[in-house]
Amino acid sequence: MYTVLALLTLLLLVVTALPLLRHPAWWIRGWDFPRLQLFVVAGLLAGAQWLLLDLSRWETWALIVTALACALYQAWWIFPYTRLHRPEVVQAESNQSIATLSILTANVLMTNHNAQTLIDMVRRYRPDILVTLESDKWWEAQLDTLSDDYPHSIRCPLDNLYGMHVFSRLPLHDAETRFLVDPEAPSMHAAAELANGARVRVHFLHPEPPSPSENASSRERDAELVVVARSVADSRDPIIVTGDLNDVAWSRTTRLFRKISGLLDPRVGRGMFNTFHADYPFARWPLDHLFHSRHFRLRRLLRLPHIGSDHFPLFTELSFHRDSANPASTLDADAEDQQTASQMADAEQVGKHDVPAPRGAD
């Protein structure tokens, strides 16, 4: 029993320490994802050591301390995405009669043909903007039934799991589709005009994940995130960045994105809102995101029901304020962060000027 628990503790220590290498290989970056699961495993392992091993041996205490240290380290990363943390985004008052913006983001899974469930969901929640990821020509044809309610659209149907569509009730200005880093993974950019005439810069992203089946490295994903962050960092416009970023909210890269961009995460202090994997409750983490500038307060943030995809849809409703509605982000970029972001972008030969900058609020 001692040998088994010692080996499990060593394995836990290794997978906890691997992401510290900052290497982009998928088998290293992949351990950023299951931090909640590793926290639980570490706690159970420490409990098993306490109950099953001889507490008079120093080796037992070394194992217990190691497991608890791993648990505390994992907890540090996920703590902001619990209700124990102070919310980063101010909650909007329900009686405020000001301009709002709601977005429903859905990775539909290209091979999933349960389109009617998503269509019914859109008609129920009536988002101002619907974003679909992994949508191909078949999905485009099904979603065209929404065209009367969503007359404005950006379309890029692909059969490689990286198709993307944006359907909007709101006028979309300066809309562009770009392949920022990966020639097979588009991003979409526009200025959405709210009911009060204000324009909001919106950026829709879906970079490739680091995985053995798709991309052996996280370099392209990381570069796309940091160049978008750098492109919005100095803007005073209202800004939203959303999509399936194929990265978890607490990873080093997503934290770097937030530091560089200055955008806020409405999940902080409210929960993880794990959107993937929809079929496996024991292996879920937050892959679908919405970040926004200080001009918005949160009205609603919902993980919506299963639509047959491997992702749950994410619904976010914000209220718009012409003046900043929130304190500045608590994550500040230092010189090392800026250097790291530059290195990531330079490695893929992409810069912030490659990202479209639709004209925002007047």
Q: Could you write out the DSSP letters of every residue in 304-352?
A: PPP-SSSB--EEEEEEE-SS--SPPPS----HHHHHHHHHHHHHTT--G
Percent of the chain with pLDDT over 90: 91
Architecture of domain 100-354: 4-Layer Sandwich (3.60)
Provide the pLDDT confidence category of residue 269 given band limits of 50, 70 and 90.
Answer: very high
Q: Could you tell me the pTM of the whole model?
A: 0.95
Judge whether 226 and 256 are in contact, CB under 8 Å: yes
Give residue-wise pLDDT tens across range 308-319.
Answer: 999 999 999 999
β-partners of residue 203 are 189, 241
pLDDT at 300 over 90: yes
Could you tell me where the DSSP H helices lie in the chain? Answer: 2-17, 26-29, 35-52, 58-78, 115-125, 137-143, 219-232, 252-261, 335-347
Strand, helix or coil for residue 2: helix
Categorize the per-residue pLDDT at 301 as very low, low, confident or very high, splitting at 50, 70 and 90: very high
- Whether the CB-CB separation of 262 and 328 falls below 8 Å is answered with yes
For position 330, what pLDDT does the model report? 73
Instruction: Judge whether 246 and 206 are in contact, CB under 8 Å.
Output: yes
Phi, psi of 216 (to 5 degrees): -70, -10
pLDDT at 325: 72
How much of the chain, in percent, has pLDDT values that exceed 70?
Answer: 98
Burial 53-69 (b: 16+ CB within 10 A, else e): beeeeeebeebbebbbe
Looking at per-residue pLDDT, the higher value among 95 and 155 belongs to 155
What mean pLDDT is predicted for residues 35-58?
95
How far is Cα 67 from Cα 71, in angstroms, rounded to an integer?
6
Rounded to whole angstroms, the Cα distance separating 181 from 353 reads 13
Question: 236-255: buried (b, 16+ CB within 10 Å) or exposed (e) per residue?
Answer: ebbbbbbbbbbbbbbbbbbb
Looking at residue 360, its pLDDT comes to: 60
Give pLDDT, residue 212: 86
Average pLDDT of the chain to the nearest whole number? 95
Using the predicted structure, report yes or no on whether residue 26 has a pLDDT greater than 90. yes
Residue 340 · residue 346 · CB < 8 Å: no
Nearest-CA neighbor of 287 among 187, 208, 202?
A: 208
CA-based R_g, the chain, Å: 21
Angle at 242 between CA 240 and CA 245, to 5 degrees: 140
Q: How far, in Å, CA of 290 to CA of 11, rounded? A: 34
Q: What is the pLDDT of residues 271-299, one digit of tens each?
A: 999 999 999 999 999 999 999 999 999 99
CA separation for the pair 198, 191 (Å, rounded): 9
In the chain, where the domains are located: 2-81, 100-354
pLDDT of residue 1: 82
Average pLDDT of span 324-336: 82
Q: Compute CA distances 231 → 262, 328, 352, whole Å.
A: 11, 18, 5
3-state helix, strand and coil shares in percent for the chain, rounded to the nearest 5? 35, 20, 40
Give the residue among 223, 182, 241, 246 at the shortest CA–CA distance from 340.
223
Look at 22 and 184; give whichever has higher pLDDT.
184
Whole-angstrom Cα distance, residue 29 to residue 225? 15
* Residue 232 pLDDT: 96
* pLDDT at residue 329, rounded to an integer: 74
pLDDT mean over 188-214: 94
What are the pLDDT digits (tens) for 209-258?
Answer: 998 888 899 999 999 999 999 999 989 999 999 999 999 999 999 999 99
- How far, in whole angstroms, is CA 337 from its chain's centroid? 19
Element (H, E) at 281: none
Q: Is the pLDDT of residue 322 over 80?
A: no
Amino acid at 167: F
DSSP-assigned beta bridge partners for residue 289: 243
pLDDT tier at 331, thresholds 50, 70, 90: confident
